[in-house]
Amino acid sequence: MVFVTGMDTAPSRIMPRRPTHFSCCTVLASSQVAEARRLALWLGSHLDFTEEQQMLREVVRSLLAEHAPDRIGVMFDRGRPAQRLALLPTYKANRSESPDDFRSQIPLIFEVLDALAIPRMMIEGVEADDLIASYATAAVDAGMRVLIVTGDRDVFQLVGDHVAVIYTRRGITDTVLMDAAAVESKCGVAPSRYAQLAALRGDPSDNIAGVPGAGDKTAAKLLNEHGDLDGIFASLEQIRGPTLPATL
């Protein structure tokens, strides 16, 4: 099964939800995947696409050609992330509104997905990555292997024996497959500790402050030495540095 984020955002901590319509919303049978592949090729030669439509079509074509998934779905943000804003009212307050010409492309992207018979999922007040976390968990529970396509590092926390990420570094032409070993090599911690690393580091793009002086390397070192956040806070007297123990 493949999940794609329709519009990349960067929520700092994924909040899984249990999907209520997993079996009917996400299933695209093998015969439909083959039809989607055929339609993607046909659309590319018969229609004029906007830049956003062209990018999405290339993502779909690449996924279908290289990975031959049995099922595929695309998740989108919808509305304001109410649950996160309740926890942190300044969440993403540093971001400007999307330009009108960008927002106007979204219905056209929906048209491409609908023409390819690819399910698109969105829930008011829920971010795309939270949907991916929910559906990926349900897919693994159902015995499936999951591939997630996104440019958001926060999904690294989902990686495991049955989940991998195609990480889009600078668009779909520059990607890397991230399994558990790749996540640990890149981030310095196992996927299971990634959310705690992000909590220490913070996320300026989401207007979330981290611990002053705790960048990626320092955060990874602390987690590897003390196990988790509780272990770090229980061992403050052992942590070296002129300011880090106090800021923790």
**Model's pTM, two decimal places?**
0.79
Contact 11, 127 (CB under 8 A): yes
Are the CB atoms for 159 and 180 separated by under 8 Å? Answer: yes
Q: What pLDDT score does 27 carry?
A: 34
pLDDT recorded at residue 95:
82
Per-residue model confidence as pLDDT tens digits over 80-92: 888 889 999 998 8
What does the pLDDT read at residue 10? 32
For position 18, what pLDDT does the model report?
A: 39
> For the chain, which residues score pLDDT lower than 70?
1, 3-4, 6-53, 99, 101-102, 171-172
Q: Can you read off the two tokens belonging to residue 92?
A: 């993403």
Contact in structure between 84 and 11 (CB atoms under 8 Å): yes
What one-letter code names the amino acid at 243? T
pLDDT of residue 37: 52
Report the pLDDT value the prediction gives residue 59, as an integer from 0 to 100: 73
Answer for the pair 69, 148: CB distance below 8 angstroms, yes or no. no
What is the Cα Rg of the chain in Å? 19
Give the per-residue pLDDT at 93: 87
Dihedral in degrees, nearest 10, Cα atoms 188, 190, 194, 195: -150
Query: pLDDT value at position 187?
Result: 96
Q: According to the model, what pLDDT value does residue 177 have? A: 93
